[in-house]
Each structure stands twice: as structure tokens, then as C-alpha cells.
Amino acid sequence: MDQLAIQPFTKPVHGTLQIPGSKSITNRALILAALSDTQTTLKGCLLSEDTRIMCKALQTLGIQLQVDEASNTIQITGCGTNWPANEADIHVGNAGTAARFLTAMLCLKSGGTYHLDGTLAMRKRPMGGVLQTLRKLGTEIECHETQDHFPFTLKTNGLPGGTWQTDASQSSQILSALLMAAPHAKADVTVELLGQTVSKPFVAMTLEMMRQAGAQIKGDGLSSTTLPHSGPTTPPNPWQIEPDATAASYFLTLPALTGGTLTLPNLEPKMLQGDIGYVQVLQEIGLDVQFTEDGVVTNHADPYVPLSGGNFDFNPISDTFLTLAALSPLLSTPTTITGIAHTRKQETDRVHAMATELRKLGQQVQETEDSLHITPDKIALLKAAENQPSVHTYEDHRVAMSFGILGSFDLLENGRPWLTIEDPNCCAKTYPHFFQDLQNLHDQAHKA
């Protein structure tokens, strides 16, 4: 297994870093563009493992799609629900957006047979909410190993109008998948959410992107939402993809550990991505983070002046909780993170993963189903560092990136690496060049 020793910063970070495009927006835009009847150019796309999986799946269906690596653009020619392939084998890897969004989209096709599978980790992730709804709407679904999990075969008949009820309590992607499919059903649809969902800002993102593509929507997606039958829609052309606000969380945090000032362009207070709300978390722990005309600017004079912990509900921005959890050993007071039970069924059990790795670093961690309470212990962290600990990343990009930021702190005050990240290449899922960008910032700081 590859390992990467993180090089601590002995000088303050400075400069500007352009964050790559959002995975969540890129994959939604691909689905919405595929269901249009026009050619759309997506600009500023994220080209990573998850988005490549989506692109490959759409190409497998016969949808014309071209990727330009140099300019981070994707050109796609939509064909509504009449894509050429009536039968296909599709592998979704461990990409939750591809898994849920494609499953619902495929069911819009009349007379289709589609075989879907994913990685071993994907086979454990929840699909029941979307599969149970699609069964009720007339799709024949055969699960080949475990009920309501990959692998399975869909025999599709198009989707009827009427009332679609769904349980999206385990993932908002289930709700987003059905919402994006609904305008292309045979008649008007009302989507009714049974109970609550998690990560509600991602539902708002889906609805706003649907509106940008021309869909008519009555409701907020979180109770009863009516979507009139529209047929193929017309997205903006070109369609600009926002920088990834979740990926930005790591570099927004970096000056807290290194000192200095870092600017992330093209990030604004109001974005499609709710994870921009992580800025408020950093402000509450005492970090100077400001929105300017140039983007978001984080400034911190001295990394040895500790910031404070606090109590935070991360349910709306749960992808970013790992960033704060990894920072917590360096805070002056305990940190409590709640609203994260659903992250146990993402790429890995993220709650348990963070608790396990923080304990390896000598931190006191209380873990419940829905929360982490972390009491920082700097002395124990220094003692753990004597053994040059390595962080197991569980094939989870967010675990790797979060602890990559922690390792940037010059804990030993001599510039020597003290923390090693296992399997750093798992970041290819959403940010292939993360550790290179981190190293570039390090080198830039030390040349100054």
C-alpha cells in the first residue's frame, strides 16, 4: 500500500489556490444534460474518479459525450429518454451520486434491461429508498445477492405519473435522483418524502439546477413537490460548474495550522453548495475567514495560538465534519460534532473511522451513533508522534484529505514529518491532485 509522509509547514502559507469543480454539481449537470434534447458544454468540471464513472456510464448507453482534459470541459449531446442502448452493463464503482442518479434515470427507458454493480463498499451502501420506490412504479428489479443492494438488474418500462413516495432518510441522493427523473415521467408527478432526509442543502442544489435546466417545480423537495411532465429540458449552454466547496474546506482550514493567508477564488457566500456553510464553523472557532472580491480569504497570524472548540450540528454540511474533527487535537477546548449518523453509510463508516484514527493519535473521543465528542490532548499527540503514526484511510478520500491537513502542522517544531497517510491515491475519487496542491503550497511558502 502506498504511503505519504506529510511535510509540515515551518513558514506561513501564502498565495492563491484554485479549487477544482464540484463533484456534486458535475454529476447532476451530466444527468440533466443527458435528459435534454440539446448539446451542452459543461465548463469547469471536476474530472475525477466519480465523474469519470458517470461519463463512462452515459457513453455505455450510447449518449454522445466528449471530455477535454486540458480545459476541464465536457460536451454532451442529450437525447431525452431515448438513448440508444436498450441493454447495458454499468459499474458505478463507489460513487454514490452515479449509483442513485443513474438507477432512477435508467427506469425512464421503455423496454430496457440494465445490469448494475459497484465495488464491495458500494454493495454495502443504502439503495433501498430508491429501489423500493421504483418497484412500486412498475420497474422490475432483481437483486442478485442482498435485497435492495448492488448488484441488481433493472427491467424498465418508463415511469408513470402520479404520486411517488420515497424514504430518503439514509441519503439525500435518493431524493435527488427521483426529483431529476420526475419531469421525464409519462405524466405529472408529485414526489412525497416519507419522514426526513439528511444533507438538505443538496436537495436545494438539485432543485435549483433543475430550474436552470428549465424544469417547472412547485415545492421545496422536503415534503410534497409537484413536477409537471415536461419532456426534454434545455440546460444553460455553456453551463459553468462551481468550485467544490467541500474540497475547499481543507484549504480554508490550512492557515489555522500553518499561519499565513490563503485565497480561494470563485467561492461566494451564496452558492448551490451548502457546504460553503463550513466557513461559519471556522469563524465560530476563532479563525479569520472573509468573503472578498477575490474569493474566500483565510488569515491566521500564529498557528501556535490555539483556536477554540465548540458544539456543531453538521447534518446540513456533513461532508465537512471530518475536516473539523481532524483539526480538533489542536484546539484549546473540546469539540462536539452532531448530526452525522448517516455518514456511517457513506464511503466508509466515517464516524467510527474518525474516532479510531483520532484515538491512535492519543485523543479522547466519545462516539455515539450520531456524534463525536473530542477532548484535545496536545501532550498525548506529541507522544503519539514519536512513533511516526500512520492514518488508515479506509479507501475514503475525505479521511485522507482531512488528516493531510493535520499533518501540515509543525508539531515537532523542526519541520520533520510526523504523520503518514496510507493510500493517498484514494483522493482520486474527487480531488486527484489534492496532495500535489498541498505540496505546491508548502514549496511556495518555503521559497518566500
3-class DSSP assignment, residue 408: coil
How large is the average pLDDT for residues 409-415?
97
The verdict on 432 and 325 lying in the same domain is: yes
Grid cell in block for residue 14: 501564502
Domain range for 297: 3-20+244-447
**Does residue 1 have a pLDDT over 90?**
no
Cα–Cα distance for residue pair 41/75, rounded to 1 Å:
4
- The answer on 374 and 262 residing in a single domain is yes
Residue 343 lies in a domain: yes
Quote the CA–CA distance of 325 and 350 in Å, as a whole number.
11
For residues 440 and 297, state if they share a domain. Answer: yes
Residue type, 59: Q
Tell whether 155 and 259 lie within a shared domain. Answer: no
C-alpha cell at 350: 466515517
DSSP, residue by residue, 362-403: T-EEEEETTEEEEE--HHHHHHHHTT--EE--TT-HHHHHHH
Give per-residue pLDDT as tens, 191-223.
Answer: 999 999 999 999 999 999 999 999 999 999 999
Domain check: are 15 and 34 in the same one?
no
First-to-last alpha carbon distance for the chain, in angstroms, is 34
Question: Quick check: 85 pLDDT over 90?
Answer: yes
Q: What is the pLDDT of residue 448?
A: 66
State whether 259 and 137 are in the same domain.
no
Q: Would residue 99 count as lying in a domain? A: yes
Residue 98 resides in a domain? yes
Q: Would you say 361 and 388 are in contact if contact means Cβ atoms under 8 Å apart?
A: no
Question: Strand locations in 277-393, DSSP E?
Answer: 288-292, 295-300, 310-313, 335-338, 364-368, 371-375, 390-391
Q: What's the CA gap between 407 and 416, in Å, rounded?
A: 10
- Tell me what pLDDT residue 139 has: 98
Residue 361 contacts residue 384 (beta carbons within 8 Å): yes
Q: Is residue 209 part of a domain?
A: yes
What confidence tier does 232 reach under pLDDT thresholds 50, 70, 90? confident
Quote the cell numbers at residue 233.
429540458
In sign, the C-alpha dihedral spanning 351, 357, 359, 364 is negative
334 part of a folded domain = yes
Question: In 69-200, where do the E strands start and end?
Answer: 73-77, 87-91, 110-117, 140-143, 152-157, 162-166, 189-193
Cα–Cα–Cα angle for 103, 107, 111, rounded to 5 degrees: 135
pLDDT confidence of 233, banded at 50, 70, 90?
confident
Residue 160 forms part of a structural domain = yes
CATH of the domain at 144: 3.65.10.10
Residue entry with cell 500564529: 302
pLDDT in tens, 56-74: 999 999 999 999 999 999 9
Place of cell 503550497: 441
Condensed to tens digits (0 to 9), the pLDDT of residues 123-181 reads 999 999 999 999 999 999 999 999 999 999 999 999 999 999 999 999 999 999 999 99
Domain boundary among 228, 258, 277: 228
Residue 235 lies in a domain: no
Instruction: Note whether 372 and 268 are same-domain residues.
Output: yes
Of 228, 263, 293, the last residue of a domain is 228
Q: Give the model's pLDDT for residue 287.
A: 97
**Amino acid type, 444:** Q
Which of the four pLDDT bands, split at 50, 70 and 90, describes residue 398? very high
List CB contacts of 274: < 8 A, sequence separation 6 or more. 199, 200, 201, 202, 204, 205, 245, 316, 317
Same domain flag for 9 and 57:
no
Mean confidence (pLDDT) of the chain: 96
- How does pLDDT run across 10-32, given as a tens digit for each residue? 999 999 999 999 999 999 999 99
Same domain, 269 and 301: yes
- Same domain flag for 13 and 33: no
| Active-site residue identified among 50, 244, 275, 319 | 319
Binned at pLDDT 50, 70 and 90, residue 326 comes out as very high
Using 50, 70 and 90 to split pLDDT, how confident is the model at 231? Answer: confident
Question: Residue 294: which residues within 8 A CB-CB, separation 6 or more?
Answer: 16, 263, 265
pLDDT in tens, 360-394: 999 999 999 999 999 999 999 999 999 999 999 99
Separation CA 179–CA 133 (nearest Å): 12
Q: Are 367 and 336 in contact (CB under 8 A)?
A: no
Q: Are residues 120 and 204 in the same domain?
A: yes
Q: Is residue 35 a contact partner of residue 230, using CB atoms and an 8 Å limit?
A: no
pLDDT digits (tens, 9 = 90+) for 263-315: 999 999 999 999 999 999 999 999 999 999 999 999 999 998 889 999 999 99
Domain final position from 228, 256, 286:
228
Considering the domain boundaries, does residue 353 fall inside one?
Answer: yes
Active site residue 443: no
pLDDT at 230: 85
User: What is the number of structural domains in the chain?
Assistant: 2
CA-based radius of gyration for the chain: 22
Only one residue has cell 484514527, namely 357
Question: Once rounded to an integer, what is the mean pLDDT over residues 419-423?
Answer: 98
Enter the DSSP assignment of 218.
B
Are residues 186 and 283 both part of a single domain? no
